[in-house]
Amino acid sequence: MIDSVEHRRQRLAEAIEWCALQKPQNNPPESEDVKRRRALGERAANHAFAAHQLEAASPFKWVTRGKVRKMKDEASQMLAEANLDAIRPLADQLRSMAFRPAGQLSDAKAGDEERGAIVESLCETRAQLLRESGSYPDLATAPVMDGKILRYTPKKNCADNSPGYESKGFFDANLCPPWDTWICYAGGELLAYVPRLLGGIAQRGIEVDTAECIRWVDRDLLTTLFAI
């Protein structure tokens, strides 16, 4: 498998071009039901916090025990009704079915060689579609970076619903970014391009990633990897 600055720059340019053609959005309209469920989720969080405060502040735990338990049960019921994990309006965005990956990068049984092959095969299919549509980028010039590059480490325990919810579905249940954005797999990490329009929702997902599976590529590493 090829791994060089030139190859990574090529894949980056392809990801940038393909994502631009998909015209992504970051604030899709939501139904009244979804708005109700989001509000219910906030009420549940506030209710659970109030129960915690009451429990911590009371000098006589036995007096408030029943009320605290009731408040916690009510918060749990509200959360179950809200079903926040299912609110992912952008889950299908930048996940083109034309080159869906052949396997899950988060599969614990997969090795780095297999993960690299999955990513490279997907990128090659994307490149071929760009050629066929006459949209293949000019590789003689540096990729126009109207966005940032993300690092995703699938070997960590990344199963977490919070980043997916906070990012409106940009990250999946294993915190993997959408495959249209994939660039390459190297050093045990997937590199993915995040258009500037989606940087905010990606950041919200990163902020609640307790396992630190997803991080931004800093300026020094960006220069090393892509010479830009």
Contact 165, 85 (CB under 8 A): yes
Nearest to 213 by CA among 149, 150, 123: 150
Residue 186 phi/psi, 5° resolution?
A: -150, 140
> Across the chain, what does the average pLDDT equal?
90
> Is pLDDT at 145 greater than 80 in this prediction?
no
Nearest to 144 by CA among 4, 20, 6: 20
**204 contact partners, CB below 8 Å, separation of at least 6:** 166, 167
- Give the pLDDT score at 199: 97
Sheet of 189-195: strand order equals 182-186, 189-195, 147-152, 214-216
pTM of the entire predicted model: 0.85
- Give the pLDDT score at 178: 97
- Tell me the average pLDDT across 198-225: 92
- Give the pLDDT score at 24: 95
Cα dihedral 157, 161, 163, 168, rounded to 10, equals 150
Domains of the chain, by residue range, sit at 5-26+89-226, 32-86
- Tell me the average pLDDT across 194-215: 95
